[in-house]
Amino acid sequence: MGIQQLTLGGGAQATANNLQNASRNSLSPTDAYAGVRLHSDGTVDRTQATSLSWALDDGLWLLSGANSQFEMRFTLNSGTAPSGGLSSGTWYVLSTTREMYFANTDDAVQSLDCNITIDIGYVGTSTALSSKTITLHAEIQ
């Protein structure tokens, strides 16, 4: 999908283009975390670490305007639903930080994987105007 950016009357702009895949492979008994987060301050973070640390800054989702003008949803295309308190297919206002992640902490050899599409649209429209499909992978080997 090409670069997508949406503009609301008054110049408010947002994009899903800065969302990135997240992957972490760890050797047992080390934990594996992988996820993405859309901050209410308009930034995008990613974790692919041995703890839930959002150390990877991937830029902005909010280009101009107010976070309360936009909402997001994720759609689970395949795999296991990620943690973070969000339901696939439900729209959430971005005035609150939203995150989707795996916390693989069982010490057992296993892999948690998903392919998700994250949509950003204007509040109250339930219409995706900027989208990005990413993968999350947290594996203990």
Task: Please state the three-class secondary structure of 57-105 as a single string.
Answer: EEEECEEECCHHHEEEEEEEEEECCCECCCCCCCCEECCCCEEEEEEEC
Report pLDDT digits (tens) over 112-140: 999 999 999 999 999 998 999 999 999 99
- As beta bridge partners, residue 23 has 137
124 CB burial (10 A radius; 0-12, 13-18, 19+): exposed
DSSP, collapsed to helix, strand or coil, labels residue 117 as strand
Backbone angles phi, psi at 94, to 5 degrees: -90, 15
Cis bond upstream, residue 29 (ω within 30):
yes
* Separation of CA 30 from chain center: 23
Does the domain formed by 6-140 have CATH 2.60.260? no
The model's pTM: 0.89
Report pLDDT digits (tens) over 23-40: 999 998 899 999 999 999
Domain ranges of the chain: 6-140
CB 117 within 8 A of CB 3: no
